[in-house]
Amino acid sequence: MKKILFCLTVFAAVCFLAACSRNDNKDSAALSSMPEIEGITYYGDIPENPKKVVNFAYSYTGYLLELGVDVSSYSLDLEKNSAAFGNQLKDAVQLTTSDTEAIAAEEPDLILVFSGDDNLEPLKEIAPVIEISYGKSDYLQMITDLGKIFGKEKEAQAWLDAWKEKTEQAKEELADYLDADTTFTVMDFYDKNIYLYGDNFGRGGELIYESLGYPAPQKVVDDVFKDGWFGVSQEALPDYVGDYAIVNVNSSTQEAATSLKESDIWQSLPAVKNGHALEVDYNLFYFSDPMSLDLQIDAFVKAVKDANS
């Protein structure tokens, strides 16, 4: 009898462990259903083909649209005013992450937010959420990452292949006007203050420093590249402005730009004296997504050619 009880106990234990193993495998399968990507966290059951996406991770609006993901909201006027994708947001509604009632009324099947958003918990109650840490993937890797998430790997790779060809062609065109070691400084204005940008914070930095491979002055590399941006005074500009200055301007910063251009310090810069201070559209150059880059590269090549004609 004791032997029978012992055998039954062992059998029950084996069955219990097997069941646990099956449950563990099931849980693992559920957790691994979405690709593991550094800087991206999933909450809820992420739909394979979302029909309505409320997007607060505004740096990635152009990525989503390029991949054919429907975006039904925007956070910044810069998105709606972008020459690259603003038209596709004409029917979108402007929202903030605190507008929980309005967000729920949109009935989204997916929400995207930047990491650290204070309203993450209530958003998770409305729809599945993808949380993205900015800068964990570079500007080109990000389209591959999002392609994996939304099952758009082919579309992502097609854009990358086309972008490689486009940058190679641009480099060939620009070689007639620029030496490979020509230095560029990327800048804009905020509240009349002057800011410089590195290779991972938009404003044309990714295009110029990464895709086209032009260097920044060493002082810019030392002080700006680590954090991506750096505020400077007019008096310090001579230490930072290279052979060319890329000046991002729109209607809200035109007054600050005009004030700088009228200053003696600005007029004394070699880049300015040589006609190499190139003013570009802030609304277009703000982002570094695929749709923005496709227009930025054409605008940049034209600006360089015009400055040297």
Residue ending a domain, among 130, 155, 180, is 155
Residue whose token pair is 């062992």: 10
Query: Residue 12: pLDDT above 70?
Result: no
Query: Residue 281: pLDDT above 80?
Result: yes
DSSP 210: I
Residue ending a domain, among 155, 185, 207, is 155
Residue 219 shares a structural domain with residue 115: no
Backbone angles phi, psi at 246, to 5 degrees: -100, 110
Residue 49 shares a structural domain with residue 121: yes
Mean per-residue pLDDT for 16-27?
41
Residue 193 shares a structural domain with residue 234: yes
Neighbouring CB atoms inside 10 A of 73's CB total 25
pLDDT at 272: 98
Q: What is the torsional sign of CA 142, 144, 145, 151?
A: positive
Range of the domain at 63: 40-155
Residue 174 shares a structural domain with residue 251: yes
Structural domain includes residue 10: no
pLDDT at 48: 83
∠ CA(41), CA(46), CA(51), 5° rounding? 130
Residue 89 shares a structural domain with residue 203: no
Residue ending a domain, among 105, 134, 155, is 155
Residue 171 shares a structural domain with residue 137: no
Residue 122 shares a structural domain with residue 175: no
CATH number of the CATH domain containing 267: 3.40.50.1980
- What burial letters (b/e) apply to 165-174, b meaning 16+ CB within 10 Å? ebbeebbeeb
Q: How far apart are CA 55 and CA 294, in angstroms?
A: 22
Mean per-residue pLDDT for 106-116?
97
Query: Residue 63: pLDDT above 80?
Result: yes
Structural domain includes residue 301: yes
Structural domain includes residue 267: yes
Structural domain includes residue 193: yes
What amino acid occupies position 184?
Answer: F
Q: Are 249 and 217 in contact (CB under 8 A)?
A: no
β-strands 193-197, 229-232: how paired?
Answer: antiparallel
DSSP 266: H
Quote the percentage of the chain above a pLDDT of 90: 87
β-strands 110-114, 184-190: how paired?
Answer: unpaired
Structural domain includes residue 27: no
Enumerate the β-bridge partners of residue 185. 245
Residue 271 shares a structural domain with residue 173: yes
Q: What is the reported pTM?
A: 0.88
Structural domain includes residue 34: no
pLDDT in tens, 31-53: 347 999 999 999 999 998 899 99
Type and span of the H or E element at 40: strand 40-43
Structural domain includes residue 195: yes
pLDDT at 10: 41
Residue 139 shares a structural domain with residue 201: no
Residue 150 shares a structural domain with residue 179: no
Provide the number of structural domains found in the chain. Answer: 2
pLDDT at 163: 98
Mean per-residue pLDDT for 130-157?
96
Structural domain includes residue 264: yes
Residue 223 shares a structural domain with residue 129: no
Residue 199 shares a structural domain with residue 264: yes
Query: Residue 214: pLDDT above 90?
Result: yes
Q: How confident is the model at residue 210 (pLDDT cuts 50, 70, 90)?
A: very high
**The pair of three-digit structure tokens given for residue 124, joined into one six-digit string:** 């998770």
